[in-house]
Amino acid sequence: MNYKCPLYINGQFIETAEKQNIINPSSGKVIAEASLASDKDVEEAVSGARQAFDNGPWPQFSLPERKEFIMRIARGILDNAGRLAEMETQNSGKPIKETTFMDIPSGARSFEFMAQHLMDYLEGRQIEVNPEARAGLSREPAGVVALIIPWNYPFLIACWKLASALAAGNTVVLKPSSLTPLTALELVRIIHESGIPGGVVNFINGAGARIGQLLCEDKRLDMISFTGSNETGRQILQYSSRNIKKMIMELGGKSASLVFADCDLETAVNSSLTSIFLNQGQMCTAMSRIFVQEEIYGAFVSDFVQKAKRIKLGLAENHETQMGPLISDAQRKKVIAYVDKAKTEGANLVCGGRIPENPELKNGYFFEPTVLVDIGTHSHIFREEVFGPVVLIHKFSGSDEAVSLANSSDFGLASCVWSKDVSLAQEVASRINAGTVWINTYGMFYDELPYGGFKQSGFGKELGREGFLEYTRLKSVITDHSEQGKPLVNYWYGF
């Protein structure tokens, strides 16, 4: 399979002279050739989006007209679901089971949800301030929005952002990770085929450092929606500060799972495996720190390690594969460096920590599920995001200590609580400094619920009513109704 990945600017697919090879992480082989955007291409994309917003028909479409476009996109995703799942697997290394049953259908549902609730969310309201004045509150699109997408969920997060941004009436410049542009482009093809006006959606691919700076410094952009690493997030904030913009920043995590002694142990173990090893641990919500109450600590670790060793590593396109490769050799080296440093700082490696010896996997970027215990809270791996299949398991005595351990992080994205005592779990959840807390489950994202973190995990929300409204601006229009049309301001100077 060998794809061509052009740019998409002002309704036209554009091949550029400068190209980049796209690698399949399972095999290390080239699967696509992607065009790289020049500074001029970025300029044309931003200019096109600005023109489409200021003078084009898209922001002026009625809500029913816009809804029809959003539904066409959802139908297009489902019509192409098999091909999209295969492409996502080949480009990102996600097991085909995940892309088929999670990423692609979830992306379609995000568009469906926004279409179904569009008119409710954008409904204005009237306020009678006092007998002399009435005000109308209305929601308008934010304007021109740059959507910057990470490599770990390249299709799904593109859907989250595009569904909200387009439903609200914005025009966009979409910038995927240069590692994983393929399914984002296919989504753009589906949007193009929906008949959406030219300039409403623009797709540019290239090195994040250069394109990110150009986008974030450009005063013609009204908003930046970014999902990615804290390091890149700080750079984006710095660039954007030169021309004030609205921001959504969904950054990293060092999420904690709290396992209480009264939990259903089998369920907690099985679900905890998913919470760290799904997508090879390359999730900002990965439960990379698992704290277990001391009464069941030994039993939990024993069962967890035994089952982690049975996780089937394999080529991502194999339907029996449970865990695929990391995204790149550089990412694998980063993970290995963290594990090695943790061992020098006193951690005990009880599972994994190696590149697998299976010859079928030798050309891919595979790494075994890895479990560390006896980790000091001072260690780097306790505090810093690894973004790989590495979990720390630590014990606690009571709920106060558990909450303290969970909150002993600069991040505040997500957490889990496992206990049959739902009242206890809810009380603990109320004290955890994280934007999402799952009780007796993990990773359930719903289009109805906003998602976003606290502290160094960023600000702003995706999904839900609140996430949708992030892509709008609120306007007040105040009309005088004073007697004889003479407002108080008329008399201020006494003329």
Whole-number pLDDT of residue 490: 87
- Render pLDDT for 45-100 as a digit per residue (tens, 0 to 9): 999 999 999 999 999 999 999 999 999 999 999 999 999 999 999 999 999 999 99
Q: How confident is the model at residue 124 (pLDDT cuts 50, 70, 90)?
A: confident
pLDDT for res 163: 98
User: What digits encode the pLDDT tens for the residues 416-437?
Assistant: 999 999 999 999 999 999 999 9
pLDDT at 110: 97
- Catalytic pick from 159, 263, 284, 351? 284
Angle (deg, nearest 10), helices 81-92 and 154-167: 130
Q: Which DSSP string corresponds to 174-233?
A: EE--TTS-HHHHHHHHHHHHTTPPTTSEEE--S-HHHHHHHHHH-TT--EEEEES-HHHH
pLDDT of 146 reads 98
Q: How far is CA 244 from CA 218, 256, 453, 461, 492, in A?
A: 10, 34, 22, 19, 35
250 is catalytic: yes
The answer to whether the CB of 436 falls within 8 A of the CB of 446 is: no
Q: Is the pLDDT of residue 306 over 70?
A: yes
Residue 273: per-residue pLDDT: 98
Between the CA atoms of 312, 314, 318 and 321, what dihedral angle is there, to the nearest 10 degrees? 20
Domains located in the chain, CATH noted: 3-251+457-477 (3.40.605.10), 256-439 (3.40.309.10)
The two beta strands, 133-141 and 472-480, are antiparallel
pLDDT of 34 reads 97
- Mean pLDDT across the stretch 148-164? 98
Average pLDDT over residues 14-43: 97
284 is catalytic: yes
pLDDT of residue 3: 85
User: Which of 117-121, 277-281, 417-421 has the least mean pLDDT?
Assistant: 117-121
pLDDT digits (tens, 9 = 90+) for 378-403: 999 999 999 999 999 999 999 999 99
Residues β-bridged to residue 136:
126, 477
Instruction: Name the pairing type of β-strands 458-459 and 246-250.
Output: antiparallel
Provide the pLDDT confidence category of residue 488 given band limits of 50, 70 and 90.
confident
CA separation, residue 300 to residues 83, 122, 293, 312, 393 (Å) = 40, 48, 9, 20, 9
H/E run at residue 40: helix 39-55
pLDDT at 483: 86
For residues 113 and 189, the answer to whether their CB atoms sit within 8 Å is no
Is residue 2 scored above 90 in pLDDT? Answer: no
Q: How confident is the model at residue 120 (pLDDT cuts 50, 70, 90)?
A: confident
Q: With beta carbons less than 8 A apart as the criterion, state whether 364 and 315 touch.
A: yes
Edge-to-edge strand order for the sheet containing 3-5? Answer: 3-5, 30-35, 19-23
pLDDT more than 90, % of the chain: 93
- The rounded distance, in Å, linking the Cα atoms of 423 and 437 is 14
Query: What is the structure's pLDDT at 59?
Result: 94
The residues, ordered by sequence, that sit 6+ positions from 167 with a Cβ below 8 Å of its Cβ are: 66, 67, 70, 114, 115, 118, 468, 471
Classify 438 as helix, strand or coil: strand
| pLDDT tens figures, 240-261 | 999 999 999 999 999 999 999 9
CA quadruple 360, 364, 369, 372: dihedral sign? positive
Is residue 335 over pLDDT 60? yes
Across 347-370, average pLDDT: 97
User: Which strands form 472-480's sheet, in the order they lie side by side?
Assistant: 125-130, 133-141, 472-480
- The strand pairing partners of 33, in sequence order, are 4, 21
Q: What is the pLDDT, as a whole number, of residue 236?
A: 95
Q: Report the chain's mean pLDDT, rounded to a whole number.
A: 96
Q: What is the end-to-end Cα distance of the chain in Å, rounded?
A: 80
Helices (H), 408-461: 422-431
CA distance 207 to 220: 21
Please check whether residue 88 is in contact with residue 183, taking contact to mean a CB–CB distance below 8 angstroms: yes
The active-site residue out of 98, 112, 250, 462 is: 250
CA–CA gap between residue 153 and residue 81 (Å, rounded): 16
